[in-house]
Amino acid sequence: MSKDHLSSTTREFLDTIGSDPGNEKRIRHIQEDKWINYGTAVNVSKKVDRIKKAPLKLRPQCLLIKGDPQNGKSSMRDMIFRLYDLPGNLDKRPVIQCQMPADPNVNKFLNSLLVALGIGERPTNKSDSLLRQLLRHLGEYQVELIMIDEFHHIGRCQDRVLRVLLDSIKDVTTMSQLPILAFGVKSAGIIISKDSQIDSRFDQVELPLWTENQDYLRLLASFESLLPLKKPSLLTTDELAINILSRTNKTIGEISRLLEALSIAAIESGEEKITLDMVKEIPFHSCKSITFN
């Protein structure tokens, strides 16, 4: 069996799995999360590294990564966290991550950061007390980057609560002199623009939907190299590439999920490659209607 179509790590996996009755090991490997270092992801990684390594200042530059659901924000967040995290180190935490509460207010937000530090929630009604505790612990653990997921949840606040919460976010980054890396759907950028001081602190990068271009073909080629099929599928050929994209909502999450289903079908059928007929006929539900709030 030629393995020229596979990456070195995938070839190594096939060489070391040994007996695989029912192809269970290969199927499990296909179902595992995969990280592909595509162009936009590389650019985001460089921007994050720059803001993290910048000297401390009163107005640190922050970054918002925004895009449609299933278009790679979570994978990008996990990749960045793994890059800077020091697992097992109890004294230093270069990066912490939290999720904006689903029904946010200032106290809930500050407590989510304290929990991310491993401090735990503080039962108090005084947000200034929570802020002082947070700032002290950020310094103690030598935090360099604060990551906030589901940032668009702040749009669920009433106007008065939203203004106070945006002020609290500004206070955290100003008083700690630390950058914030936020992730959210597109509406997060609109929410930020409601406060000129917050808006000026956040650069914004949008993760676009995939289209039939060279970046998309490179993405398919990367996926093919990671799928442990015995025969090359030639996913970048015109008909396959176009039909794969047409079955999805053009997000990397759905493209990945479709290729996973196709790869398992290729193994179970004995075909050992993804064919055009498979792409057209495989049962697959695409979430064509995307919610942005």
Q: What is the pLDDT of residue 4?
A: 86
* The two three-digit tokens of residue 68, written as one number: 């449609």
In DSSP terms, 204 is beta-bridged to: 64
Contacts for 183 with CB less than 8 Å, ≥ 6 apart: 64, 65, 66, 73, 74, 76, 77, 147, 148, 149, 150, 151
- What is the DSSP pairing of strand 202-207 with strand 62-67? parallel
Q: Domain 39-207: give its CATH superfamily.
A: P-loop containing nucleotide triphosphate hydrolases (3.40.50.300)
Domain(s) labelled CATH 3.40.50.300 in the chain stretch across 39-207
Residue 285 has a pLDDT of 92
pLDDT at residue 292, as a whole number: 44
Could you tell me the pLDDT band of residue 1, with boundaries at 50, 70 and 90? low
pLDDT at 278: 97
Checking if the pLDDT of 198 tops 70, the result is yes
**Whether the predicted pLDDT of 24 surpasses 50:** yes
For the segment 108-127, what is each residue's pLDDT rounded down to a tens digit?
999 999 999 999 888 777 99
The token duo for 106 is 């200032």
CB 72 within 8 A of CB 132: no
Confidence at residue 125, expressed as pLDDT on a 0 to 100 scale: 74
CA distance 259 to 56: 44
Interatomic CA distance for residues 148 and 161, integer angstroms: 18
Q: Tens digits of per-residue pLDDT, 248-266?
A: 999 999 999 999 999 999 9
* Contact partners, residue 77, CB within 8 Å, separation at least 6: 65, 97, 147, 149, 183
pLDDT digits (tens, 9 = 90+) for 123-156: 777 999 999 999 999 999 999 999 999 999 999 9
pLDDT at position 35 is 87
- φ, ψ for residue 49 (rounded to 5)? -60, -40
- 293, pLDDT greater than 60: no
Entry field: residues in the chain: 293
- Name residue 88's beta-bridge partners: none
185 close to 69: Cβ distance less than 8 angstroms? yes
Tell me the pLDDT tens digit for each residue of 211-228: 999 999 999 999 999 999
Q: Does the structure show a pLDDT above 70 at 289?
A: no
Q: Whole-prediction pTM value?
A: 0.89
Across the range 234-248, mean pLDDT stands at: 97
Q: How far apart are CA 72 and CA 256, in angstroms?
A: 10
For a pLDDT cut of 70, what percent of the chain falls above it? 97
**Predicted confidence (pLDDT) at residue 288 exceeds the cutoff of 80:** no
Residue 291 reports pLDDT greater than 50:
no
Q: Are the C-beta atoms of 155 and 188 separated by less than 8 Å?
A: yes
Percent of the chain with pLDDT over 90: 82
Average pLDDT along the chain: 92
Is a pLDDT exceeding 60 seen at residue 85?
A: yes
